Structure 1
Amino acid sequence: MKNREHDLFVPVTATDTLYLKRIRHPERDGEPVLMLHGVMANGRIFYSDKGRGLAHFLARHGYDVFIADLRGRGRSTPKISRHARHGQTETICEDLPALQAAIRAIKGDMAVHWIAHSWGGVHMSSCLLRQPALIAQVASMVYFGSKRSVHVRNLNKLLEVDLMWNGVARLLCRSIGYLPARRIGLGADDETDKSHRQSKAWAKVAPWRDSDDGFDYQAAALQQQLPPTLYFAAQNDPCRGHPADVRRFREESGNHLARLHLLARRTGHRHDYDHVSLLTHGDAVKDHFPMVLDWLAGRYGMVDENY
């Protein structure tokens, strides 16, 4: 049977509306899951029109899945342009709380599982550390290739991060007013000047503090305890989510129940996955998506630490 799909729209300001794709089992109404994409991306990383992807996989197993497009990305409106002034502070302080509230308005007081790809994990952890009242509303979290700062040094980091992200992308933001990543083939969606500037600073090993008001997320991580979190890292991910940087993100996120699991042939998996294929490869359904089911069900002992 085919999953049910619905389009939802969540007003977040007087002019901005967030898109939520809802995918659920045709007969079951299970626990809610919120999915969040990374930079230069949108919610499409989690699903396809042909019923593929992690969102459809979880829905087929009974979960009620909500996939977000952040402000200006995907089907959220208005689209990013030189006039957009929002950045990651707004994602952390406004967008994510609004998405959580919208889901709980539909599902009631049920705790929501949070799942993210790449920089989406940074947004999610930052949101909970900044607004700890939300922690009790989140049952568990699963991150795919999420890191905050890029400490590793290699050729890919030099080309992809230092040259393109820190250099070329910054020049484009200054000349055009935003990063037209989709138009130039750099990513699936665009970024505002502010979101690029803020994420660029953190990725350059800057302190985990907010550039708008100086909020210290690192200090908050020492005071709060995040929900149980599974961190996936990919063997063939040299800089956008290098396993060592994923580990550093877990460590700076404070004391919480966590596992770091490396997706690699040498750890028993079918492939040496990369930053995208760990979510999109056809074999993921049989290879490591079942581990997500274990984590969401609270079977934490079934997921091993292997890095």
Structure 2
Amino acid sequence: MADSPLPSQESLFITDKHHQLHLRHIHQNDNGAPVLMIHGAIENGKIFYTESGKGLGCYLAEQGFDVFVADMRGRGKSTPPIRDDQAHDQTDQITRDIPLMIEFIWQRTGQPVHIICHSWGGILVASALARFPKLVEKVRSQVCFGSKRSVYARNPEKLIKVDLIWKWLSPLIARHKGYLPARQYKIGSDDETRESLRQSVHWVKHTPWRDTRDSFDYAAAAQSTTWPPTWHIAAVADHALGHPEDIRRFIRETGNTDSFFTLLSKANGNALDYDHINMLTHPAAREDHFPDLVAWLKKR
């Protein structure tokens, strides 16, 4: 029997002043429920797909979803790259990029969107929904893989990845270079602006969930937000960047009562003890927890 054809892929762009925001459109069924995928810090959309058909984005397209994978401003195929335009931060992603992408998909499909996030992407999306309650009307559900806001975990991996690399070494490099060239230093798959790095470090340090640019109080707004159904997925071998207990703290901080939590581990019946990255990229995920995700999305 011949293999099924791979989903189609093309690049779409949203113009916002002098920025071009890139969405990778992956689809076999343009009438399927739309999915927007948001990556984390020092990442781009490739955490969700490859051009050869691997990754969660491609898997969802094979299951009939209409998938849009974001590159946040300056990352991936969005232009200009961070090295050429360093004067933006995570507030721009919260107040501009995410609302523009949700509205673009709403106008294109006429349907509310499922949002799937990895790591810090889940914090940015939650911030956007808390800040702009009308956006929630255009969101069908959200799924967060390894999304935490503050890091309370105490273990050797946290000391290296968070305290040493993220809080100390990365700001030092950013002050010297003007931005964080994470790809060059092999600490991430994409770069980060100096100000965006500063803002994320500030939130990671147990400080209030408040915007460092204009003091908007996300924590207070979250308490009156009508959240979409939300699934938080943690990995048992993720000891620092999305520690299960830190994810649970973030769930409580949002006040989202329509949410639930899953821990991926062998003890819970999964194929392996996943970590922060391979819960999205390991080949076993296609037969392990990806089908459960499809079933959950279809019920929404």
The TM-score normalised by the length of structure 1 is 0.94
Match of 1:22 among 15, 22, 25: 25
> Residues 178, 82 of structure 1: CA spacing in aligned structure 2 closer, same or farther, 3 A cutoff?
farther
Query: Are the aligned partners of 1:72 and 1:78 in contact in 2 as well (CA < 8 Å)?
Result: yes
Match of 1:78 among 80, 89, 103: 80
| Counterpart position of 2:194 | 193
| Counterpart position of 2:9 | 5
Shift, 1:193, TM fit:
0.5
| Counterpart position of 2:256 | 255
Query: Are the aligned partners of 1:82 and 1:192 in contact in 2 as well (CA < 8 Å)?
Result: no
Please say if 1:138 is aligned against 2:139. yes
Name structure 2 gaps, 5 residues minimum. Answer: none
How far, CA to CA, are the matches of 1:28 and 1:135 in structure 2?
22
How far, CA to CA, are the matches of 1:63 and 1:158 in structure 2?
39
1:294 partner letter:
A
Query: Are the aligned partners of 1:39 and 1:119 in contact in 2 as well (CA < 8 Å)?
Result: yes
How far, CA to CA, are the matches of 1:228 and 1:135 in structure 2?
11
Shift, 1:112, TM fit:
0.5
How far, CA to CA, are the matches of 2:266 and 2:218 in structure 1?
35
How far, CA to CA, are the matches of 1:264 and 1:182 in structure 2?
30
How far, CA to CA, are the matches of 1:82 and 1:158 in structure 2?
32
Name structure 1 gaps, 5 residues minimum. Answer: 300-307
Query: Are the aligned partners of 1:82 and 1:177 in contact in 2 as well (CA < 8 Å)?
Result: no
| Counterpart position of 1:209 | 210
How far, CA to CA, are the matches of 1:16 and 1:50 in structure 2?
27
> Residues 265, 28 of structure 1: CA spacing in aligned structure 2 closer, same or farther, 3 A cutoff?
same
How far, CA to CA, are the matches of 2:57 and 2:185 in structure 1?
28
Please say if 1:175 is aligned against 2:176. yes
RMSD after superposition: 1.1
| Counterpart position of 1:279 | 280
How far, CA to CA, are the matches of 2:296 and 2:244 in structure 1?
20
How far, CA to CA, are the matches of 2:85 and 2:113 in structure 1?
33
How far, CA to CA, are the matches of 1:91 and 1:70 in structure 2?
7
Please say if 1:92 is aligned against 2:91. no
How far, CA to CA, are the matches of 2:134 and 2:221 in structure 1?
13
Aligned length: 296
How far, CA to CA, are the matches of 1:131 and 1:83 in structure 2?
26
Shift, 1:83, TM fit:
4.3
| Counterpart position of 1:121 | 122
How far, CA to CA, are the matches of 1:294 and 1:202 in structure 2?
34
The 3-state SS of whatever aligns with 1:158 is helix
The 3-state SS of whatever aligns with 1:140 is strand
Please say if 1:46 is aligned against 2:66. no
Residue identity (%): 47
1:252 partner letter:
E
Query: Are the aligned partners of 2:178 and 2:194 in contact in 1 as well (CA < 8 Å)?
Result: yes
1:162-216: CA deviation from partner (whole Å, max 9, x where unpaired): 1111101011111111000001101000000111000010011111000011111
Shift, 1:294, TM fit:
2.0
How far, CA to CA, are the matches of 1:39 and 1:95 in structure 2?
14
How far, CA to CA, are the matches of 1:212 and 1:279 in structure 2?
32
The 3-state SS of whatever aligns with 1:165 is helix
Query: Are the aligned partners of 2:106 and 2:138 in contact in 1 as well (CA < 8 Å)?
Result: no
The 3-state SS of whatever aligns with 1:81 is helix
Query: Are the aligned partners of 2:130 and 2:225 in contact in 1 as well (CA < 8 Å)?
Result: yes
Which consecutive aligned stretches of 4+ in structure 1 deviate over 4 angstroms post-superposition? none
Query: Are the aligned partners of 1:229 and 1:258 in contact in 2 as well (CA < 8 Å)?
Result: yes
How far, CA to CA, are the matches of 1:295 and 1:204 in structure 2?
33
| Counterpart position of 1:219 | 220
1:120-174: CA deviation from partner (whole Å, max 9, x where unpaired): 0000010000000001110000111111110111111111111111101011111
Query: Are the aligned partners of 2:74 and 2:85 in contact in 1 as well (CA < 8 Å)?
Result: no
